[in-house]
Amino acid sequence: MNGDMSGMGSLCLPDQLHPVPPGGILGMESMVKGKPAPWGPAEGNAARRLITWALEEDLTAPDGRHGDATCLALVPASLKGQAALVARSEGILAGFPVVPLVFSALDPDMRVESLAPEGTRLTPGMPIARLAGPMRALLEGERTALNLLQRLSGVATMAHRYARLVADLPCVVLDTRKTTPGLRLLEKYAVRVGGAINHRLGLADGILVKDNHLACLAGKMRADPATARAAARQARAYAQAHPPLLVEVEVETLAQLEQVLAEYPDVVLLDNMSPVQVRDAVGLRDRLAPRVLLEASGGIRLENLREYALAGADRISIGAMTHQATALDMALDYIPDA
């Protein structure tokens, strides 16, 4: 039962790499296609918090009893074994550092050997890792580790599908705040592994004046261009007093865009515009404020993404990369003694 895993080293987490700057990436100067997506201290800490909660959820009964009842009934505490983590479908591997974190939280004697680096294009049957140690820990951590790794790999796979469509164009694909509660840092990490770019991390680290902000200021459903310009001016003043905030303003019409451009925000978000309207917006921007970036969003799918990029958008934000991602199929298979 004690499989020979001699010489198998524990996985070293890449905590020495630097995380994405606070607030994600807003400026075009930071959007370098093909740049490795680091797993840093922020991601590690977020993963540890989430794993603590997830294991508590999985190992605690409503009446307070703790542990894996099946393992306690059947599996001796001294029993050791090994297992293989394998892919069952095609996709992009992301979030593997959560795997050793899960199992080490259950038993420090667990060993995890990575067989595929982050960003690997997986195919069915491809080995991802080998695990060895106490069987109770292997069985107790299996579902939590798979749930997290499958989810993050699914996000990376979806991000890759979008990003590769404009890889040859001067346009980047960004995520949004449409993430799973509690998983934002990790899902945004997975987006980077897939080749797309992070928008702001949360509400505190960037100003994004959206339609509802403008509506409440104007007191009506659609704000007039003057209200949009006044909001852009006020947002710019606040950002200048509270660096390094960047300012993005959402517009729905070219009339709003013309007024907002006069205040030179960092980015203008073109909401639910057609590719033809985006092209007109680019022409207006080039004439009035060529340094302002234009971001297209709303109604953009895999089928029409490239059309928006060719229309001249600098950025395209896609919420579907996170909220419509499907978990990648994987399995943890027991390896019997030879």
Q: Copy the structure tokens of residue 127.
A: 């080995």
Confirm whether 271 is a catalytic residue.
yes
Q: What is the pTM of this model?
A: 0.89
Confirm whether 210 is a catalytic residue.
yes
Q: Is the dihedral of CA 19, 20, 22, 23 positive or negative?
A: negative
Note the pLDDT tens digit of each residue in 62-116: 999 999 999 999 999 999 999 999 999 999 999 999 999 999 999 999 999 999 9
Note the pLDDT tens digit of each residue in 183-235: 999 999 999 999 999 999 999 999 999 999 999 998 887 789 999 999 999 99
Confirm whether 250 is a catalytic residue.
yes
Sketch out the chain's domains with CATH numbers.
28-163+325-335 (3.90.1170.20), 197-317 (3.20.20.70)
Among the listed residues 111, 112, 139, 141, the one whose alpha carbon sits nearest the alpha carbon of residue 127: 112
Q: Which of 33, 48, 177, 178 is catalytic?
A: 178
Confirm whether 143 is a catalytic residue.
yes
Is 50 exceeded by the pLDDT of residue 27? no
Describe the crossing of helices 275-288 and 254-261 by its angle, rounded to 10 degrees: 20
Q: Which of 248, 250, 252, 263 is catalytic?
A: 250
Alpha-carbon span 117 to 119, nearest angstrom: 6
**Secondary structure letter of residue 11 according to DSSP:** P
Confirm whether 211 is a catalytic residue.
no
